[in-house]
Amino acid sequence: MKVTLYTDGAARGNPDGPGGYGAVLQFIDKNGTLHEKELSAGYVRTTNNRMELMAAIVGLEALNRSCEVDLYSDSKYLVDAFNQKWIDGWVKHNWVRPKTGPVKNSDLWKRLLVAMNPHKVTFHWVKGHDGHPGNERCDRLATSAADGGDLLVDTGLSN
């Protein structure tokens, strides 16, 4: 099954403010019918990068079978980690970068790798706030979640 996943993260007062993520899953069934699912949540205190990762994680974790996924994000942090093969070096060096120390957000990178495992994921970068419909939709979901009530605690955020 071929799936399109749009993702975005937001943080107010990054890195010490509330944040949220938004993800939109889309697939077209054998009859040509488009199916969509929106996912979002907000956090009391987090960072933009953590929310970018959470959007991808939650979107992939929502899939209940192995899929071919085209993931669209405006986060160079997320997209370049895979397209530039940064992640391979991080894993090889046990999540430590030789010159700068521990990889930030390794808890979420590890969770993302597990979420990706059953799928074939291709990462695509889109320019943020540039009118891309999927990205704009996810941005609205992420910012609404960050500004909403019932915010979660980002337990992996280091002080």
Domains and CATH numbers, the chain: 2-147 (3.30.420.10)
Candidate list 19, 22, 42, 52, residue with the active-site label: 52
The DSSP string of the chain is -EEEEEEEEEETTTTSS-EEEEEEEEEE-TTS-EEEEEEEEEESS--HHHHHHHHHHHHHHT--S--EEEEEES-HHHHHHHHT-HHHHHHHTTTEETTTEEPTTHHHHHHHHHHHTTSEEEEEE--TTS--HHHHHHHHHHHHHHHSSSPBP-TT---
Candidate list 8, 20, 22, 119, residue with the active-site label: 8
* CA R_g for the chain: 15
How confident is residue 15, by pLDDT bands cut at 50, 70 and 90?
confident
Write the single-letter amino acid at 51: M
Token digits for 112? 């993302």
105-149 pLDDT, tens digit each:
999 999 999 999 999 999 999 998 888 899 999 999 999 999 998
**What pLDDT shows up at residue 131?**
87
How confident is residue 159, by pLDDT bands cut at 50, 70 and 90?
low
139 is an active site residue: yes
147 is an active site residue: no
**What pLDDT shows up at residue 13?**
84
129 is an active site residue: yes
Do the Cβ atoms of 124 and 69 come closer than 8 Å?
Answer: no
Cis peptide, bond prior to residue 15, ω within 30 of zero: yes
